[in-house]
Structure 1
Amino acid sequence: NSSPLTPRIIGIGGASCAGKSRLCGTLVEHLTSKGMEVKVISMDDYYWRVEDPHHVRNPETGFPNFDCYSAVDWESLIEDVRQWSSHKPAVVRPSRPNRCLFVEGIFVLECETLFQMFDVSIFLKLNYETMLERRLLREYDPPDPPNYFKDYVWPAYCKSLKSVSSKAGCTIYVECRGLSFEDMFRRVLGCIYDKLGICD
């Protein structure tokens, strides 16, 4: 359905520290300036609390593994996406979609229910060294324990890439290593415009 009344949902998943949140923020600014109603739902806001029994924990330290699929309250996330989709816009502009939702997070393309809802699916790729380098520059609460990246973050990324690659449907892969943020933004924006048939 290509009607401008049809809300468009774009999933952006992939590597930790690839720039998903910043990218979505910049896309929101750009598309809002074009007259669209744009929102971001971030997977990071749906992690179970640290003390929640849903978490898989390191048997020695008790530290929760935030880099696994079960660390996220998918039911609540999916419900919020559906709620957004059911809302009707007050004004209809025939030249472009009126409403656009970005759903971002490392596992959002793995969730089959969400994947089927996405009009565009984008997977941001990074190599081991670049991801680790960026990860070390970030502060996490709680902080990563020793070897967390090697034992959990990188294996989770590899598993996610394999899972998404095996899905039927067209996922756009963007290699972020050596790519400036501006170039990544332009590349992703171009893919979105192309997929949704938007003329700037």
Structure 2
Amino acid sequence: MFYVLLMHLPSQYSLFFFFWFSVTNGGKTTLAKNLQKHLPNCSVISQDDFFKPESEIETDENGFLQYDVLEALNMEEMMSAISCWMENPTYSPVSTHEESIKEIPILIIEGFLLFHYKPLDTVWNRSYFLTIPYEECKRRRSTRVYKPPDAPGYFDGHVWPMYLKHKKEMENVSWEIVYLDGTKSEEDLFSQVYEDVIQELAKQKG
């Protein structure tokens, strides 16, 4: 998932936040990094960087490590990183033809359980959700190397069921979510989101 946040600050500039969410291997990290390269003053915080050590991850009745729950993450540390960025936004020399957005700091927050952490509800401007079908998700995951490696049956027994559970819970949120087709090419996804971001930033500059 990808959230977007705008905050009005005494310094007379605004902060713009995106929260990005997807199923595992949905392409959220690749898209976030691509946007960072092309948007001025853009930083990325990834939820994956805040996993607890394996020794602190619980297992379910089937012996599967429970990585797809908030308890597996140091969310307080993640919020601290977001707060630090808000206090001292990063500026970069990335050039753009869109003069109206150059001085607006942008933070992309990408992860897989962002909707489920209440403190984040107040810090976003726009959110995106990348979806891919079961077979494609399973295929992509099979090409990745994890530490620890996936146990036999882990995808079908834990990863996909947890994704469906979280996706169902997201249907009850009160804000707008932009759904993206994760089977599209990286170029098409980038173009779609980039244009949307430019339009939103232009509105904020108004």
TM-score, scaled to structure 2: 0.83
The residue correspondences of 1:12-91 to structure 2 (distance < 5 A) are: 12-31=20-39, 36-52=40-56, 55-59=57-61, 61=63, 63-87=64-88
CA contact (8 A) 1:12 1:109 kept: no
Q: 1:155-196 deviations in whole A, cap 9, x for unaligned?
A: 12112212222111111111213x111111111112222233
Letter paired with 2:200: K
The worse-fitting range, judged by mean Cα deviation, of 124-133 and 81-90 is: 81-90
The worse-fitting range, judged by mean Cα deviation, of 127-136 and 78-87 is: 78-87
Letter paired with 1:124: L
SS in structure 1 of the partner of residue 79 of structure 2: helix
The residue correspondences of 1:173-192 to structure 2 (distance < 5 A) are: 173-177=179-183, 179-192=184-197
Letter paired with 1:8: F
Q: How many positions carry a matched residue from both structures? A: 190
CA shift for structure 1 position 138: 0.6
Q: 1:114-152 deviations in whole A, cap 9, x for unaligned?
A: 132111111111111110010001110110001111111
Structural RMSD (CA)? 2.4
Q: Give unmatched runs, 5+ long, in structure 1.
A: none
Give aligned-pair identity as a percent: 26
Distance 2:21 2:42 in 1: 18
In structure 2, the CA distance between the partners of 1:194 and 1:109, relative to structure 1 (3 Å rule), is farther
CA shift for structure 1 position 112: 2.3
Distance 1:65 1:159 in 2: 14
Q: Give unmatched runs, 5+ long, in structure 2.
A: 1-6, 93-97
Match of 2:151 in 1: 145
CA contact (8 A) 1:115 1:121 kept: no
Letter paired with 1:58: D
Letter paired with 1:82: S
CA contact (8 A) 1:89 1:98 kept: no
Distance 2:198 2:129 in 1: 16
Letter paired with 1:112: K
Counterpart among 169, 185, 199 of residue 194 in structure 1: 199
In structure 2, the CA distance between the partners of 1:89 and 1:110, relative to structure 1 (3 Å rule), is same
Letter paired with 2:24: S
